[in-house]
Amino acid sequence: MLVVWDCDGVLVDTERLVTRLEAEWITALGWPLTQAEVVERFMGRSERVMSTEIERNLGRELPARWYDALRAASYELFRAELTAVDGVEQVLDLLESAGVATCVASSSGHDRLALVLEITGLAERFAGRVHSAEDVQQGKPHPDLFLHAAQQQGVPVAECVVVEDSEPGVLAGVAAGMRVLGFAGGLAPTAALEAAGSEIFERMAQLPELLGVEADGLGMQQ
Ligand SMILES: [Mg+2]
């Protein structure tokens, strides 16, 4: 088995911070969006998709370096406030001690992934096993990134389990032919994750059992 982790929202608690910031910045450009609307439109999608959509709605190109400035502002916020998703370290400890392979497959770019994993102390756990939408032609909801991750890790698709918290991510995992577990502890509506084809779980402590990994004796509380 290979557990393919999305990053934002399942390993690191970035989404609350980022979607709030994005709503403010996009509204300031002249397209008023609430945080919930940002979640619905952009969470789990790549920067490429988001900038194209913003430009289409504004009817003009984004100001020069707008995305760079937004990224810098979000990195500053991460350095101040970012934490790992509650309970995820214990799950990773458990998977590691059970000999279960893991990797990351995220819509974020490699620089950003390196930063958020470093800030939250998770970087070493995934060293050399981080895959980004930058590595493939089409990001989520297309299956390319998950298929790429499986191939790079040398594990057949049928043995991969995806952990996701966004609708495009769940759709991508399903399109790749993988089992998808949808984390309902994030910002996406649970019904959307379920409709997209994932098995829902509410807390990280429930994940080992869903993966068939014995949780006894490692301090996991169901
Ligand atoms: Mg996510």
Confidence of residue 106 (pLDDT cuts 50, 70, 90): very high
Q: In the chain, what percentage of residues exceed pLDDT 70?
A: 96
Locate CATH 3.40.50.1000 in the chain: 2-13+83-211
Say whether pLDDT at 39 is over 90: yes
Instruction: Give me ligand 1 centre to Cα 64, in Å.
Output: 27
Tell whether pTM > 0.85: yes
Residues 6+ apart with CB under 8 A from 131: 103, 104, 105, 106, 145, 148, 149, 152
| Confidence at residue 222, expressed as pLDDT on a 0 to 100 scale | 46
Query: 2-13+83-211 belongs to which homologous superfamily?
Result: HAD superfamily/HAD-like (3.40.50.1000)
Locate CATH 1.10.150 in the chain: 15-81
Distance CA 59, CA 7 (A): 32
Instruction: Give me ligand 1 centre to Cα 44, in Å.
Output: 5
Mean pLDDT of 97-126: 97
Instruction: Give me ligand 1 centre to Cα 19, in Å.
Output: 12
Catalytic residue numbers, as ranges = 6, 8
Yes or no: say if 52 and 139 are a contact pair by the CB < 8 Å rule.
no
What is the second-level CATH architecture of the domain 15-81?
Orthogonal Bundle (1.10)
- 113-136 pLDDT, tens digit per residue, is 999 999 999 999 999 999 999 999
Mean pLDDT of 9-36: 97
Distance CA 199, CA 173 (A): 12
